[in-house]
Amino acid sequence: MTISYRLVRPAPQQVHTLNPAQSQVADHRQGELLVMGGARTGKTTALIHAGVSSLERGVPQVLFIASSRRARKEDQSWVGQFYPHLVSRFRVTTFYSLCLSVVKIDDPHPPSLLSAARQDSYVRQILAGQDDQEWPQEFAQVRRTVPFASNLREILAACQRAGLSPDDVRQLGIDQSRDDWVCMGDFYQEYLDILGLASVVDYPELLLRAAALLTREDILTAVRPQGSMILLDDSHNVDSAQEEIFSALTDFSTAVIITANPDSAVFGFRGARLPGLGSDASTICLQQGYGVAEAVEEACANLKRRIELPLGVPVESLEKYRCLIPDRTGGVEKILCPDRGAEAAFAAQSLRRAHLLEKIPYENMAILVRSGAEFSRFAQACQLEGVPVTISGDEIQLKSEEIVTLLLDGLASGGHFESVSEALWDLWKSSGWEELLVAQIERGGVEALRAHRSLDAVVALFALASSFSDMSTAAGVTALIESVQSQEVPEDLPRSSAWASSAVRLTTAHRAGSGCWSLVIVAGVEDGVWPATGAVHPLLSVSGLVDLDVDRSQRLNAERKLFYTGCSSTTDRLVVTAVDDEEHSPSVFFDQLKADIGIFDAQAPSSVMSRAHLIGKLKQVLVDEGAHPGLRQAAGDRLAAMSHKYPSAHPDNWWAVGPHQEAETISAISASGIEDLLTCPRRWFLTKRAAAERRNQAEAEFGTLIHTICQDFDQSLDVMLESLESRWGELEFSPAWKSLPQLEQARGCLIRFDERRRRSDRETVFCEVGVEFLADLQAGSLRLRGRLDRVERDENERFWVVDLKTGKTAPTAREGANHIQMGVYQLALASGAIEELGPCEVAGAELVYLRLDAKGLPKVVVQPSLDAMPYLDTDPGLPVLTGELGDEVGDQYQHETWVHHRIAAAGAILRRGEFPALASSSCRGCSFRAVCPAKKVSS
């Protein structure tokens, strides 16, 4: 059979048909024109048509200044697609690209642009290298802090925008008798000198250089030929320095057109403002919306009325500009959630439902938040619901990337290399992560998105490391680690300007810009979060030097614009969420949005929206003895059919819990398990009964190996170290380079253990001895088991329980006194659980932390004996003992000792067979935190 193919030319896309107002813009031929319009009123389309029309009339060149790199790419592509014959004369650029091209005319090898994160790093490095005498005494305590560096970076940018040189700042300091200003001038000069030596330039300095060069006629002519047309899109986000460059370009131009959406001017904190035009400039307002929903416009009407009017624009024009004509109905919801975890869950479930039931592609949905600090909880909730999420690269700091943290840990372990970059490269190649991440990308899906981010972060880390390569390796590594850990400004990652496809956009309202989506969830609209109007008091006072002050009304106005911009970024449906609980309440913006309020019930049964959820529901029906037999049979049949393709549907992979057991039949619980059970019964159940926790295998094997080597009474330190070296290869570390620093830590453990052994006057009588005994309680007995690392006898023939720990943190003295595991071991020893000793006198217990150095010895936390302290002086109480359970167990004084009280509480929980989730300080490291129903944990 022969198969033939025929290539068919795709049907050409139609050029957008202009409405009357857009046609007026396109027909503009001379003078200055301001085009005002809200989101999706076709401002950019009209602007491009104006440029095309001018070129077809014989104008030599059109210079189109786009608002961002992404917009530049889209606009350039549009012109190339529909008017390829005009591309060479229709120049699309950004202010950055334009300034760089201006500088290149004068210098063929211009310096590279310094990212905001790198600028932040340079400022801190210079401060770290200065002597204390270089700043006034009042700054001695704060000069090396991150807020001081951030404040200084803002002042430098403001000075550059104002056209102040280092000499200007110094002279103003001398004139005003301000020593701190003189120091700022010196710092300013050193900053510019160092940037010059590194052949880099920050963005404000690039603008200043370009503005200075544009005063030369030859350069001005090269950039803007006589009689050309200048087009500026989104002029409401132009700052004063950019306006100066724009003004230089517009002289002697045939026509100048700028577009503006003043209600979405969200970059006022960077000095953005609406550029001034001449008094004879005309104004056209675009009112017809394309993808503007009537419901959204009505809901936002109150917000728009409260936004202050920009100066220099006639009131009648502003009123007309705000009266948009919708082209669709749309919908708006306001949802109150009981806590922050529920808010994230609601957002994820809504997106999943919209994708499955309404067939909205994931890439046509977005979650907008006020700041990047909100990303984590929404990303986790979406992951649990099977909703793919993408976050732009320049919105997450390097210090929050796990792969960066691990690489920095590896660098800190040392090594002999020529430079920081070489050390980092060797570490990266030996880790094996490159192949792993590439494989994840090839598999696609959510894993691919995360792998892309990790690779981007690694590339950015290498770029940052190169700036420290002129230092020695040790100093450079230290500087690199400090730079990343104190980073306040996100790094500009390589793919930051591009969104990943087929995923929900999770971004800030600032970053969303002119983006639009069919469904937008604006989340976290709470007091203190949105609006964020708290005044930031600068450490350096610059009143009279540059203007950094923004009063509360200005900040509130800027926040309202930002909120409105986020709300108006949807073409169809808007959902606004806020939390209403003891700690959070909806903000004034939530109230000002006109829409009905819904309440999200986090406890209500949710619809089945994912395969995992479906399998879980089927299992639930199958094991429900109260369900109809036919329904249970149908659930079993469906699970059987699915089990061939999905392992989680097969019974071999199910978790199961038997019927509640009476105290006499409950199997033994470990001493360490009691502490876990009393801290959070839900976590204990998931970890011990369901075996659902992913253990750090390498850490567990590390501890096991140390304990094994230390259990031989008579081994010398040399023999112990040899044993460690010979058996170290049994441990598997991922990545492999972690093996070397871990080996060094293991050697330190054995050295400190030997030193303690050498200095001790006690006799070791047992090592690694297992115990199992019945604890007699008022409500019955509970069988306990455990393994005592060491039992030691002192000169008074009293015994000590010693537990060797290889953890990296130790409890406080009070926490050690309350340590239930050691209390149980004391009770076991005193009750004769070790048959060879029988009942004996116990002097106390010690937790010995081998990794923690205390002047050559391991850190030791002592627990008094139960005879000396039968009850805790300050009982912290057990949150689990509430209601009937608390009444059943009582307080510690109703039991023989505080340890018996704890054991009784554990037995009562096991008898009931109920395992609630409890919030505590241990939640931070819990593997199940993302799905925990405990209110404070989710928050």
Look at residue 519 in the predicted model and tell me its pLDDT: 96
Banded model confidence at residue 693, pLDDT cuts 50, 70, 90: low
Look at residue 496 in the predicted model and tell me its pLDDT: 44
Q: Which residues pair with 776 in a beta bridge?
A: 781
Cα atoms found within 13 Å of the Cα of residue 648, Cβ hemisphere only: 9
Region of poorest pLDDT, from 232-246, 398-412, 886-900? 398-412
Contact 121, 228 (CB under 8 A): no
CB burial of 737-770 (b: ≥16 within 10 Å; e: otherwise) equals bbbebbbeebbebbbbbbebeeeeebebbbbebe
Contact 276, 311 (CB under 8 A): no
Instruction: Give the whole-angstrom CA distance, residue 293 versus residue 330.
Output: 5
How many Cβ atoms are within 10 Å of 291's Cβ, its own excluded? 17
How many Cβ atoms are within 10 Å of 271's Cβ, its own excluded? 18
Look at residue 493 in the predicted model and tell me its pLDDT: 46
Look at residue 446 in the predicted model and tell me its pLDDT: 54
Banded model confidence at residue 547, pLDDT cuts 50, 70, 90: low
Look at residue 434 in the predicted model and tell me its pLDDT: 78
Using one digit for the tens of pLDDT, what is the confidence trace for 118-144? 777 778 778 877 776 778 877 777 777
How many Cβ atoms are within 10 Å of 669's Cβ, its own excluded? 23
Q: Is 728 helix (H, G, I), strand (E, B) or coil?
A: helix
Give the pLDDT mean for 408-421.
73
Q: Is 524 helix (H, G, I), strand (E, B) or coil?
A: coil
Look at residue 8 in the predicted model and tell me its pLDDT: 58
Which residue in this structure is represented by tokens 């600068």? 538
Look at residue 250 in the predicted model and tell me its pLDDT: 80
Give the pLDDT mean for 180-199.
84
Extract the tokens encoding 298: 């009505």
pLDDT reading at 752 higher than 90: yes
pLDDT reading at 661 higher than 60: no
More confident residue, 254 or 576: 576
Look at residue 676 in the predicted model and tell me its pLDDT: 86
Look at residue 191 in the predicted model and tell me its pLDDT: 85
pLDDT reading at 489 higher than 60: no
pLDDT reading at 399 higher than 70: no
pLDDT reading at 268 higher than 70: no
* Residue 11 DSSP one-character state: P
Instruction: Give the whole-angstrom CA distance, residue 743 versus residue 737.
Output: 11
Extract the tokens encoding 707: 């304990």
The bridge status of strand 331-337 relative to strand 282-286 is unpaired
Look at residue 110 in the predicted model and tell me its pLDDT: 78
Using one digit for the tens of pLDDT, what is the confidence trace for 837-848? 888 999 999 999
How many Cβ atoms are within 10 Å of 323's Cβ, its own excluded? 11
**SS percent in the chain: helix, strand, coil, step 5:** 50, 15, 35
More confident residue, 880 or 311: 880
Look at residue 149 in the predicted model and tell me its pLDDT: 78
Give the pLDDT mean for 331-355.
91
Helix (H) or strand (E) holding 16: none
Highest mean pLDDT among 36-40, 496-500, 698-702: 36-40
Instruction: Give the whole-angstrom CA distance, residue 749 versus residue 853.
Output: 9
Banded model confidence at residue 337, pLDDT cuts 50, 70, 90: very high
Look at residue 664 in the predicted model and tell me its pLDDT: 43
Instruction: Give the whole-angstrom CA distance, residue 664 versus residue 897.
Output: 22
Residue 202: name the closest of 122, 290, 298, 138 by CA: 122
Helix (H) or strand (E) holding 367: strand 365-369
Give the pLDDT mean for 719-733.
84
Give the pLDDT mean for 246-271.
75
CA 739 to chain centre: 28
Look at residue 229 in the predicted model and tell me its pLDDT: 87
- Number of DSSP helices (H) and strands (E) in the chain, helices first: 36, 21
Banded model confidence at residue 800, pLDDT cuts 50, 70, 90: very high
Highest mean pLDDT among 447-451, 709-713, 809-813: 809-813
Residue 119: name the closest of 202, 47, 179 by CA: 202
More confident residue, 493 or 417: 417
Instruction: Give the whole-angstrom CA distance, residue 802 versus residue 860.
Output: 10
- Angle CA(403)–CA(406)–CA(407) in degrees, nearest 5? 85
Contact 300, 593 (CB under 8 A): yes
Instruction: Give the whole-angstrom CA distance, residue 226 versus residue 229.
Output: 9
Look at residue 783 in the predicted model and tell me its pLDDT: 84
Output the furthest CA–CA distance in the chain (Å, rounded): 107
User: Cis before residue 531, ω within 30 degrees of 0?
Assistant: yes
Q: What is the DSSP code string of 600-660?
A: --TTSPPP--SHHHHHHHHHHHHH-TTS-HHHHHHHHHHHHHHHTT-GGGSGGG-------
Extract the tokens encoding 10: 């795709």
Contact 641, 878 (CB under 8 A): no
Look at residue 272 in the predicted model and tell me its pLDDT: 44
Q: Is 503 helix (H, G, I), strand (E, B) or coil?
A: coil
3-state secondary structure 392-450: CHHHCCHHHCHHHHHHHHHHHCCCCCCCHHHHHHHHHHHHCHHHHHHHHHHHCHHHHHH
Note every long-range contact of 619-622, with CB atoms under 8 Å and residues 24 or more positions apart, other chains counting.
619/654
Look at residue 427 in the predicted model and tell me its pLDDT: 81
Q: In Å, how far are 303, 891, 905 from 882, measured between CA atoms?
A: 47, 11, 11
Extract the tokens encoding 369: 């938040």
Contact 596, 334 (CB under 8 A): yes
Extract the tokens encoding 98: 């334009």
Contact 764, 714 (CB under 8 A): no
pLDDT reading at 780 higher than 50: yes
Q: What are phi and psi of 801, to 5 degrees?
A: -95, 125
Banded model confidence at residue 113, pLDDT cuts 50, 70, 90: confident
Banded model confidence at residue 883, pLDDT cuts 50, 70, 90: confident
Single-letter code of the amino acid located at 879: P
Which residue in this structure is represented by tokens 């093996």? 739
Banded model confidence at residue 650, pLDDT cuts 50, 70, 90: confident
Q: Which residues, in sequence order, are CB contacts of 177 under 8 Å at separation 6+?
A: none
Look at residue 665 in the predicted model and tell me its pLDDT: 45
Query: Residue 85: is it exposed, middle or buried by C-beta count within 10 angstroms (0-12/13-18/19+)?
Result: exposed
pLDDT reading at 742 higher than 70: yes
Residue 694: name the closest of 915, 925, 913, 923 by CA: 925
Look at residue 469 in the predicted model and tell me its pLDDT: 63
Q: Which residues, in sequence order, are CB contacts of 719 under 8 Å at separation 6+?
A: none
Query: Residue 355: is it exposed, middle or buried by C-beta count within 10 angstroms (0-12/13-18/19+)?
Result: buried
Percentage of residues in the chain having pLDDT higher than 70 = 82
Look at residue 380 in the predicted model and tell me its pLDDT: 79
Instruction: Give the whole-angstrom CA distance, residue 382 versus residue 930.
Output: 11
Extract the tokens encoding 478: 């230290």
Which residue in this structure is represented by tokens 């394309």? 290
pLDDT reading at 678 higher than 80: yes
Instruction: Give the whole-angstrom CA distance, residue 346 versus residue 340.
Output: 10
What Rg, from alpha-carbon coordinates, does the chain have?
A: 34
Give the sign of the dihedral formed by CA 582, CA 586, CA 588, CA 592: negative
Banded model confidence at residue 24, pLDDT cuts 50, 70, 90: very high
More confident residue, 916 or 438: 916
Q: Which residues, in sequence order, are CB contacts of 564 under 8 Å at separation 6+?
A: 263, 264, 300, 303, 304, 307
Average of per-residue pLDDT values in the chain: 80
Instruction: Give the whole-angstrom CA distance, residue 87 versus residue 598.
Output: 51
Instruction: Give the whole-angstrom CA distance, residue 205 versus residue 184.
Output: 17
Q: What are phi and psi of 749, to 5 degrees?
A: -60, -45
More confident residue, 562 or 551: 562
Q: Is 771 helix (H, G, I), strand (E, B) or coil?
A: strand
Give the pLDDT mean for 666-676.
79
Give the pLDDT mean for 793-806.
92
Residue 440: name the closest of 403, 476, 409 by CA: 403
